[in-house]
C-alpha cells in the first residue's frame, strides 16, 4: 500500500470497490509504466477531475470509466466506456475538445501527454484514501495567533475594492487594488484556488485550492498574508463562513470533492471541529460512492449553510447553531448540482443541476425546495446575475455550456407571481460554452462570456447586452485583441466578467496557452471602452476574480 496522501494501488481499488469492471475489459487496457501512471494521475487531477470526477463516473463531464452500463427506465441497458471509444478517438477528443463544453487541450498538453492521457483513462481508476479528523488536524497551522493579530486595519488599502485573483498554475492568489490596479500582495495558497469568500466582517479572505488546502488571509495586516491554514481534503472546491447575526466569523465550512465530505472549522483559526460525510443515495435511489460537495452558501436568514451535493442531487440545510447536535434538513432536487447564487432578496438560492438541465430553487425562510425549473442544456450560472426586467420584473440569469442562449428566470413570487420560478425569456447568445454572466445594481448592462466555445473569435470575446432592450444584438468586445498581447496559435480565453465595488468597471481574465502571457483586461461599464490592461509578470494564468465588497454582500 502506498502512503496516506497518495492514491492506493489499482489492485486494492478493484478489491475494495463494488463497481469494478470486468477482467475482460481490464485486460484490454493499454499498458503503462509506473512513471507514466504517476505523470498521468497528476495531469488528470489538475485538468480533468473537476468535471469527470476522481472515480471518473462523470458529472458536468462525461463518464470516463473503461466500461460502464446503465439500465434505462424501459429496462433496456446502455453500455459505453473509454475502451469502446479507443485510443485514436480519445486522443482526438482530448486534443480538439467537444461542442458539449470540453475545451481543446492541444495548446495545453503536448502530443505525448495527450497520448498518455488517452491510455490512462482506459485503465481502471485508482481510489484515493479517506481523510480523517486526526489527519486533518495534523495539517492545521496557525502562523499568527488571534491575540497577536492587529485590532484595527494597519494599512491604507481600500479593502472594499480589492480583487482576490486566482493565479491558477502557480498556486497563488494576487490581491489587486481596484482603485490603482496595482498588486497589493501575492499570497502562496493551494493549487488552482477555486473560490475566494469573505468573512461577514470583511476582514478575512478564505481561499480553497483544488488540492484541498484552505488558507485564511488577514486583510488588516500591514501586508495582507495567510495567518492560518488547514488541508480539508485531497480535492476541494467550496468554502464559506457563518454570516447569521451573532455567528459572524465564528465558523468556516469547506466541501470536499474527495473524500466526499464537508468540514467545519473555527472561523478565526481554522481549527478542525467536525467532519460530515456526504455519501448516500441519489435522487434516483441508487448509491453513489463519490457525491462531491459542489457549492456552499451561507444563509443570512438563519444560522444555516446551503450545502449542494453534486452527484446525489441532494441539497442539505446545515444548522450550525449547535455543532455537537448538528441538524441537517435534506431535500431532493436533481443531478448533478453545481454552482449558483442568491436572488436579489437573498431569500432564495438558485443552483444549477447540470445533467438534468434544471435550476433548483431553495427557499431558506420556509426551508424547502421551492421549484425545479427546466432550462436549456447544461446551465452554468457561476453565481448568476440579478436585475429587474422591464417586462417580467426581478429575474435571475444563467448561461449554458451546452446551448447558445441565456436564460432568465422570474424570482418575485409576491408582486410577479405569474412569472415566479419560470423561464420568462431566453436571450440568443453568441454561442454555447458560457461560464459566467454578471451585472450590478448600478449597471445597465449584462455581461456574458463564452470561453468554452470551440470558435476562437467567440472564446476570446465577451458579449454585453443592454438590459432595457434585450432584443438588441449584444456589443461584442474582443478581449484578446484589446489586451494588446501578441497573437499566438493558442486560444486566449476571456473568462469571468467581475464588477468593481462601484459597479462602473468590469474586469475580465484572459488566459491562453501554457507558455503565453496572461492579462486582466478592464473595461468602463458605461462606455464599454478599454480602461486598463494588467500584465504584471506576476499575473500568471489568472482565472477567478472576486471583488471583496461584491462577494461579501452577494452582489451580482
**What are the cell numbers at 464?**
454585453
DSSP letters spanning 384-406: -EEEEETTTEEEEEE-BSSSSEE
Q: Could you tell me the domains of the chain? A: 34-122 (1.10.760.10), 441-555 (no CATH)
State the average pLDDT over residues 198-226.
97
Phi then psi for 471, rounded to 5 degrees? -80, -20
> Residue 126 pLDDT more than 90?
no
pLDDT digits (tens, 9 = 90+) for 254-266: 999 999 999 999 9
Q: How far apart are CA 521 and CA 390, in angstroms?
A: 30
State the average pLDDT over residues 435-458.
96
Please choose, from the candidates 310, 335, 287, 336, the residue with its C-alpha nearest in 3D space to the C-alpha of residue 18: 287
> Residue 127 pLDDT more than 90?
no
Per the document, the length of the chain is: 556
What's residue 169's pLDDT? 87
pTM of the model: 0.87
Share of the chain above pLDDT 90, in %: 83
pLDDT digits (tens, 9 = 90+) for 233-252: 999 999 999 999 999 999 99
What's residue 8's pLDDT? 30
* 3-state secondary structure at position 507: strand
Q: How far apart are CA 293 and CA 336, in angstroms?
A: 11
> Residue 1 pLDDT more than 60?
no
CB 162 within 8 A of CB 176: yes
**Dihedral, 8, 11, 17, 21 alpha carbons, nearest 10:** 130
DSSP letters spanning 27-56: HTSPP--HHHHHHHHHHHHHHTHHHH-TTS
> Residue 101 pLDDT more than 90?
no
What's residue 50's pLDDT? 83
The Cα-based distances of 283 to 17, 329, 432 in angstroms read 21, 15, 28
Q: How far apart are CA 194 and CA 545, in angstroms?
A: 10
Catalytic residues, which ones? 48, 51-52, 102, 338, 380
What ranges make up the beta strands (E) of 141-292? Answer: 141-142, 162-167, 172-177, 183-188, 195-198, 204-208, 213-218, 225-231, 235-241, 251-258, 261-266, 272-277, 280-281, 287-288
What's residue 54's pLDDT? 87
State the average pLDDT over residues 407-416.
98
pLDDT digits (tens, 9 = 90+) for 9-54: 332 233 333 333 333 344 489 999 999 999 999 899 888 988 898 8
**What are the cell numbers at 8?**
492506493
pLDDT digits (tens, 9 = 90+) for 165-197: 999 889 999 999 999 999 999 999 999 999 999
- As a whole number, the mean pLDDT across the chain is 92
pLDDT digits (tens, 9 = 90+) for 474-489: 999 999 999 999 988 8
pLDDT digits (tens, 9 = 90+) for 59-81: 878 999 999 988 777 888 889 99
> Residue 3 pLDDT more than 70?
no
Q: How far apart are CA 238 and CA 127, in angstroms?
A: 22
Amino acid at each position: 500500500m502506498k502512503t496516506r496522501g497518495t492514491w492506493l494501488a489499482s489492485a486494492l481499488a478493484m478489491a475494495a470497490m463494488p463497481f469494478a469492471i470486468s477482467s475482460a475489459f481490464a485486460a484490454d487496457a493499454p499498458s503503462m509504466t509506473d512513471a507514466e501512471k504517476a505523470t498521468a494521475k497528476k495531469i488528470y487531477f489538475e485538468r480533468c477531475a473537476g468535471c469527470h470526477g476522481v472515480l471518473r463516473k462523470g458529472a458536468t463531464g462525461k463518464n470516463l470509466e473503461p466500461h460502464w452500463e446503465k439500465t434505462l427506465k424501459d429496462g433496456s441497458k446502455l453500455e459505453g466506456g473509454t475502451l469502446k471509444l479507443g485510443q485514436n478517438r480519445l486522443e482526438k477528443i482530448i486534443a480538439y475538445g467537444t461542442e458539449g463544453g470540453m475545451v481543446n487541450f492541444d495548446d495545453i498538453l503536448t502530443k505525448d501527454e495527450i497520448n498518455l492521457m488517452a491510455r490512462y483513462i482506459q485503465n481502471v481508476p485508482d481510489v484515493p484514501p479517506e481523510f480523517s479528523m486526526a489527519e486533518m488536524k495534523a495539517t492545521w497551522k496557525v502562523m499568527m495567533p488571534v491575540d497577536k493579530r492587529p485590532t484595527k486595519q494597519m494599512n491604507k488599502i481600500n479593502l472594499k475594492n480589492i480583487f482576490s485573483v486566482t493565479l491558477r498554475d502557480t498556486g497563488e492568489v494576487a490581491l489587486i487594488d481596484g482603485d490603482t490596479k496595482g498588486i497589493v500582495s501575492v499570497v502562496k495558497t493551494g493549487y488552482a484556488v477555486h473560490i475566494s469568500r469573505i468573512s461577514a466582517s470583511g476582514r478575512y479572505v478564505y481561499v480553497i485550492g483544488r488540492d484541498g488546502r484552505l488558507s485564511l488571509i488577514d486583510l488588516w495586516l500591514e501586508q495582507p498574508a495567510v495567518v492560518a491554514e488547514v488541508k480539508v481534503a485531497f480535492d476541494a472546491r467550496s468554502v464559506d463562513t457563518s454570516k447569521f447575526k451573532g455567528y459572524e466569523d465564528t465558523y468556516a465550512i469547506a466541501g470536499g470533492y474527495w473524500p466526499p465530505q464537508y468540514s467545519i472549522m473555527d472561523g478565526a483559526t481554522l481549527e478542525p471541529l467536525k467532519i460530515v460525510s456526504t455519501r448516500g443515495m441519489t435522487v434516483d435511489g441508487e448509491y453513489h460512492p463519490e457525491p462531491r460537495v459542489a457549492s456552499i452558501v451561507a444563509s443570512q436568514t438563519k444560522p444555516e449553510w446551503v450545502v449542494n451535493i453534486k452527484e446525489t442531487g441532494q441539497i442539505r440545510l446545515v444548522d450550525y447553531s449547535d455543532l455537537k447536535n448538528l441538524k441537517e434538513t435534506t431535500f431532493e432536487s436533481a443531478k448533478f448540482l453545481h454552482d449558483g447564487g442568491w436572488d436579489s432578496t437573498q431569500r432564495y438560492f438558485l443552483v444549477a443541476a447540470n445533467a438534468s438541465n434544471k435550476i433548483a430553487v431553495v427557499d431558506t425562510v420556509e426551508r424547502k425546495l421551492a421549484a425545479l425549473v427546466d432550462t436549456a442544456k447544461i446551465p452554468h450560472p457561476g453565481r448568476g446575475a440579478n436585475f429587474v426586467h422591464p417586462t417580467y420584473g426581478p429575474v435571475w440569469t444563467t448561461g449554458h455550456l451546452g446551448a447558445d442562449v441565456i436564460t432568465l428566470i422570474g424570482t418575485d413570487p409576491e408582486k410577479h407571481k405569474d412569472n415566479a420560478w419560470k423561464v420568462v425569456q431566453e436571450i440568443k447568445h453568441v454561442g454555447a460554452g458560457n461560464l459566467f454572466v454578471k451585472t450590478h445594481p448600478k449597471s445597465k448592462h449584462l455581461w456574458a462570456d463564452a470561453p468554452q466555445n470551440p470558435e476562437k473569435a467567440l472564446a476570446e470575446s465577451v458579449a454585453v447586452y443592454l438590459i432595457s432592450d434585450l432584443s438588441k444584438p449584444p456589443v461584442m468586445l474582443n478581449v484578446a485583441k484589446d489586451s494588446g498581447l501578441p497573437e499566438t496559435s493558442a486560444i486566449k480565453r476571456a473568462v469571468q466578467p467581475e464588477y468593481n465595488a462601484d459597479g462602473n468597471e468590469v474586469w475580465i481574465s484572459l488566459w491562453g496557452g501554457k507558455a503565453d502571457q496572461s492579462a486582466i483586461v478592464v473595461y468602463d461599464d458605461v462606455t464599454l471602452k478599454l480602461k486598463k490592461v494588467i500584465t504584471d509578470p506576476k499575473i500568471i494564468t489568472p482565472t477567478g476574480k472576486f471583488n471583496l465588497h461584491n462577494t461579501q454582500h452577494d452582489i451580482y
